[in-house]
Amino acid sequence: MKPIEVTDDSFKNEVLESNLPVLVDFWAIWCGPCRLVAPVVEELAKEYDGKFKFAKVDVDANQKVAMEYGIRSIPTLMIFKGGQVHTSLIGAVPKGNIVTKIEEALSN
């Protein structure tokens, strides 16, 4: 399962109203560190298929959502659970750090 592309218009439906926790990757095409994180997010999307949802938001094309959640630095990974921000990670963080946050979200 690949991460889904989410827009300003689909964010509420795909992320906030999701029955599963959602990891949202806020990124942009020109962002070098975002390119480092993308394959890790894709790997995790396969590993957690059915337990967790993965989404990507292009901050250049979807500024409303990016502004609403105060995205100032990319990549920013945010985990949403029950329509609320559960946790976030900023920068090109190692896979282990992301897994820790995913596991925390699943166990709470």
Enzyme catalytic residues: 31, 34
Backbone angles phi, psi at 69, to 5 degrees: -100, 15
* Other beta carbons less than 10 A from residue 94's beta carbon: 11
Q: What one-letter code names the amino acid at 24?
A: V
- Residue 50 neighbours by CB under 8 Å, 6+ apart: none
Could you give the dihedral angle defined by the CA atoms of residues 65, 81, 19 and 6, in that order, rounded to the nearest 10 degrees?
20
3-state secondary structure of 57: strand
